[in-house]
Structure 1
Amino acid sequence: MSDVADLPDDIEALKAMIAAQGAVIARQDAQLRHHQLLIEKLKARLDKQLRDRFGSSAEGLEQLQLMLEDLEITHSASLLASEPEPAPKDKPVRRPLPGHLPRTEQILELGDVCGDCGGKLKRVGEDVTEELEYVPGRFVVNRFIRPRMACSCCERFHQAPLPSRPIERGRPGPGLLAHVLVSKYADHLPLYRQSEIYAREGIDLERSTMADWVGKAATLLEPLADAIGAHVRAGTALHADDTPVDVLSPGHGKTKTGRVWVYARDERPWGSDAPPAAFYRFSMDRKGIRPAEQLKGYTGFMHADGYAGFEELYRSGTISEVACLAHIRRKFFEEAQSKGTPIAAEALTRIAALYAVEAEIRGQPPDQRAAARQAKARPVFDDLIRWLQSELPKISGKSDLAKAIRYALTRLPRLEVYLSNGHLEIDNNAAERGMRGLAIGRKNSYDRCQTSAQKTIIARPRRWLLFIRLQKTGRDAISVVAQTLIRGSIPHYARYVRKLSRSGGWHGTSPPQFLLEGSS
């Protein structure tokens, strides 16, 4: 009944109608939760099937990308072959091609005689059509000619010195060296593949030769590596994580398992202008002393998982722990997608409400973020803890769900500080995102993990992409290779070289501070 006048006057009848509507709403709510859980389960199954089929190897990922490319190409070809459809009323706006790209002009002259009447043509305007083209990179040979001069008085010989070069007495120029490094560490092209690519250009560059270049270039940017580490440690809070990595042991025919540690600083969620950055450290074990050594001198907050090795840092009193809600959610998600447990599904719904608050306040100042969390997230957070405490006695203590609840009840009190501090995040995803690069191009490990110790640094200050690789045999493990790009175009290599030269030269000791500054 849509009209109030149609409702019965009898109170009992009205109660019956309300009860019936309540039952309908309850059934709809149950169906909605069931559908939400079904969606989560189907997503999990799809993810699992993709992992099972393509795995985590680079070959599997490349195969998936090729399949997607084939589908896109086939779709484009079918559109081209089909009859053109009427243009939509609201055509998408085509953005102009980047203005920094060089232009070559071709003037298509028609002549000065009219093809219809034979009269003389005069120019009244022009139409310009731009086409984006790609010209493969070119190898060039720089010849440094230094006349030998003799003094007519003292008969001594004089000659201009060679300019500073990244590898003294080496043949690669800074642009080529930068290209090799970026291709390997940013574009995930192993050296042997680069060798094959260069061979198509008629250039013979053996993998072993480029490996030697990488090793010799490693010491150039140690000051910059230290500057990035200091920049990350200077933040109010950092994100920490680690992952295992296989390391080849020369002469033993087997691999060892080392650890790569990432420490990230990203203050964009609360509107800071500090450039986001992350630096990596390597160790051959996962002892708690490793993060203590790597974060020596740091004071502040640290987002992390429940790794016991971090406890020593927290006991020192200089570093305060901030737990990760994503880790808590993951355990409930696994339970929901594998068994369809209603309690796990309810936990996911409550956690989603906390993330909804974060979406609303992203980019706002810290004080506003803290106020919004206290008003909107605090009740949900406290109720989540109470609800988990009430549900735990109802299930088997040995079940995976009970383990997930106990983990949540242990970690949530260590996350509570984020509610009152707008500088902190709800999870540790910034560090986990930093680990994705290690999962891309796993074949790089053949070139990368042949030493007894290694380090990696990645930093992304604003539009700069700086990928730094630290590698050296020995216990100290401190060799550095790096490349900086703006928009990834080769002409910026020269700009990078000029700035680096002005900041102390290839072999100067001063960190090139411009690399940590923003770029418009």
Structure 2
Amino acid sequence: MQSLSRAELPDDVEALKGMIINQSYELEKLRSQIAGLRRHQFGVKSEALDQLEMLLDDMEARQAAIIDPDALPETADPKDQPKRKPLPGHLPREEERHGLDQTDCASCGKPMRKMAEDVREILDYVPGNFVVKRHVCEKYACRDCGTIAKAPAPSMPIEKGAPGAGLLANVLISKYCDHLPLYRQSEIYAREGVDIPRSTMAGWIGKMSNLLAPIAERIEAHVLEGEAIHTDDTPIPVLDPGRGKTKTGRLWAHVRDERPHGSPSPPAAFYKYSGDRKGERPREYLKNYKGFLHADGYAGYEKLYGDKIREVACMAHVRRKFFDIHKATNSPIAEEALKRIAALYEIEKRIRGKPPGERARVRQDEAKEKFEALHDWLQARLPSVPGRGELAKAMRYAITRMKRMKAYLKDGRLELDNNIAERSVRGVAVGKKNYLFAGSDNGGMSAAVIYSLVETAKLNGVDPHAWLTHVIANIADHPMKQIDELLPWNWRHQGIGDSLAG
């Protein structure tokens, strides 16, 4: 099923109805397939079911976008709109009253009397519990001149919906932090007596990725201001419904973390999704960057390097190759290489958190000789190793990459490896083990936005759920010129998130 943007949707109500009917047929067909697989689950891998479930998540998100009341023409009859189900009566209620600051009539100046109340119930979530928040807006009337005034209702993350900020944050954290597909979340909520269809949650995720995009953009700008950043990418399987198979997309991580050299600049990470791994992708994402780039040996980065961007290669990749060979063959050459590399890491451990100048001095005094000795030793031993073997490949790789990591010896802002970026994609790898990651390219782009926020919160020692709840609740009313106040490190500095830092 082809993915359509809102601009591509027809304005005609009948045409929209036709699209919804067609999508409903496709969804019902997939539901039948899943039901059949669950009845005959013996011998069927559980991830096959999860793949179909993820496809349903994405299709239902698109259908939710099509039937979004905001997208329908204003001529639609309100009587034809479905009524929202009442929120479960067994949930505790928390009442928040909204009154007028001034109860004197704005027209005649006489005192007004309270005449009625408007009540709106919002389903919210605090860690471990659902709660219904009752927003009571008081109405006043002036008996003398008939003027009526009502207290303004608070802004909602989804203006025509019923979810509170805490519930929306929980859906995002459960999916992108805890790797729970929406159908599993729906099952968990149902056990608590709360019915939230996954199609509803899919629509929420799309809306939240749009709402939170300005925060992700500010995180990206902050990362690109760094003098040295780290990048890595990881493959993610993506369903391609049009071809009836999966394709391999990529999630690209870009991290600024200057804590190893004692900088007070807050750490941050932004992610980008692409449907392929073409070299133009990193060039697009880093077109405005100037500085050092820690990266692996992917050829797509080559055209980035020059006067504007300087490469810093990764010793961890070198070490990993020797580690795998030693584990498989007990090679004494691989063992010796590992010992020499370990000596370099011992020096790094001692200078972690020290100022750049001190780090550079220690590296020149202690690491430079060991680094050069390792390089020379590899070159000297290489001719004695079978040229087509894995050990020779690892040695040639090390010799080549070490030439591109020498800058770390002179500059204390740089790292010996790219582990900072590799850690940032570790959560994505865990997600891939649990379910097929994305139902479409749109799902991948939404994930990139949410991952940017979640990972940056964690890097700053901020509870992602608490911070996202705060941001979702406030971003709609927050001045865009002051959007940086909502970034996780500023949130902590305001004293809101101090008790949540881990």
Aligned with residue 222 of structure 1, among 213, 227, 243 = 213
CA distance in 2, matches of 1:169, 1:148: 24
CA contact (8 A) 1:302 1:319 kept: yes
1:145, CA displacement in angstroms? Answer: 3.6
- Among 324, 337, 341, the alignment partner of 2:314 is 324
Name the CA distance, whole Å, in 2 between partners of 1:216 and 1:135: 22
> 1:162-201, aligned counterparts within 5 Å?
162-201=153-192
Contact 2:186–2:196 (Cα < 8 Å) also in 1:
yes
Structure number having the greater helix percentage: 2
Q: 2:139 — aligned with what?
A: 147
Q: Within 2, Cα distance between the matches of 1:258 and 1:136?
A: 34
Per-residue Cα deviation, 1:85-125 (whole angstroms, up to 9, x for no partner): xxxxxxxxxxxxxxxxxxxxxxxxxxxxxxxxxxxxxxxxx
Q: Using the TM superposition, give the Cα deviation of residue 441 of structure 1 relative to its aligned residue in structure 2, in angstroms.
A: 3.4
Counterparts of 2:484 and 2:129, CA distance in 1: 27
1:503 is aligned to 2:478? yes
User: What is the deviation of 1:219?
Assistant: 1.3
Verify: 1:294 aligned to 2:292, yes or no: no
- How does the TM-score come out when normalised to structure 2? 0.67
Q: Secondary structure at the match of 2:483?
A: coil
Report the alpha carbon displacement of residue 181 of structure 1 after superposing the two structures with TM.
1.6
> Among residues 445, 461, 464, which one is paired with 2:462 in the alignment?
464
Residue aligning to 2:230: 239
**Which of the numbers 396, 401, 413 marks the counterpart of 2:403?**
413
Describe the shift of the 1:378–1:135 C-alpha distance in structure 2 as closer, same or farther (beyond 3 A).
closer
Q: Which runs of 5+ in 1 are unaligned?
A: 1-54, 60-133, 467-482, 486-491
**Offset, 1:388:** 0.8
Distance 1:298 1:368, change over 3 A: same
**Structure 1 pair 498/194, CA: closer, same or farther in 2 (3 Å)?**
closer
After TM superposition, the structure 1 = structure 2 runs for residues 88-127 of structure 1, keeping only pairs within 5 Å, are: none
Figure out how many residues of one structure are paired with residues of the other and give that number.
364
Partner of 1:250: 241
Determine if the alignment matches structure 1 residue 428 to structure 2 residue 418.
yes
How far residue 513 of structure 1 moved from its aligned partner, in angstroms, is: 2.6
Could you say if the C-alpha distance between residues 497 and 152 of structure 1 is closer, same or farther in structure 2, counting changes exceeding 3 Å?
farther
- Cα shift readout 1:214-238 (whole Å, capped 9, x = no counterpart): 1122211221111100111111111
Alignment match, 1:284:
275
Q: For 2:293 and 2:163, locate their aligned partners in 1 and report how far apart those are by CA, in whole Å.
A: 42
What is the Cα deviation at residue 156 of structure 1?
A: 6.6
The alignment yields a C-alpha RMSD, in angstroms, of: 2.8
Provide closer, same or farther for how the CA distance between residues 465 and 322 of structure 1 changes in structure 2, counting only shifts above 3 A: farther
Distance 1:147 1:308 in 2: 66
5+ unaligned residues in a row in structure 2: which ranges?
A: 1-44, 50-125, 493-497
Give the superposition deviation at 1:141.
3.7
CA contact (8 A) 1:195 1:206 kept: yes
The answer (yes or no) to whether the contact 1:191–1:447 under 8 Å persists in 2 is no
Partner Cα separation in structure 2 for residue 58 and residue 336 of structure 1: 36
Identical positions, percent: 50
User: Partner of 1:441: helix, strand, or coil?
Assistant: helix
1:386 Cα deviation (Å)? Answer: 0.9
Q: Distance in 2 between matches of 1:145 and 1:416?
A: 65
Contact 2:238 2:247 in 1 (8 A): yes
Q: Do the aligned partners of residues 150 and 200 (structure 1) sit closer, same or farther apart at CA in structure 2, a change above 3 Å counting?
A: farther
Which stretch shifts more, 439-448 or 318-327?
A: 439-448
**CA offsets, 1:184-223, max 9 Å, x none?**
2222222212211211221111111111111122211221
Partners of 2:157 and 2:476 within 8 A in 1: no
Structure showing greater Rg: 1
Question: What code does the residue aligned with 2:139 have?
Answer: P
Structure 1 contact 324–415 (Cα < 8 Å) conserved = yes
Deviations 1:228-258 (A, max 9, x none): 0011111111111111111112343211111
| 3-state SS, counterpart of residue 405 of structure 2 | helix
What CA distance in whole angstroms lies between the structure 2 residues aligned with 1:434 and 1:362?
Answer: 19
Residue 263 of structure 1, aligned match among 249, 254, 278 = 254
**SS of the residue 2:134 aligns to:** coil
Q: Which amino acid aligns with 1:380?
A: K
Give the 3-state SS of the residue equivalent to 2:183 in structure 1.
helix
CA distance in structure 2 between the partners assigned to 1:243 and 1:185 by the alignment: 15
Is the Cα contact below 8 Å between 1:275 and 1:516 reproduced in 2? no
Check 1:147–1:443 CA distance in 2 against 1; reply closer, same or farther (3 A cut): farther
Task: State the alpha-carbon separation in 2 of the partners of residues 135 and 418 from structure 1.
Answer: 44
Q: Partner of 1:305 in structure 2?
A: 296
Q: Give the superposition deviation at 1:437.
A: 0.6
Question: CA–CA distance in 2 between the matches of 1:509 and 1:449?
Answer: 34
Match of 1:357 among 343, 347, 367: 347
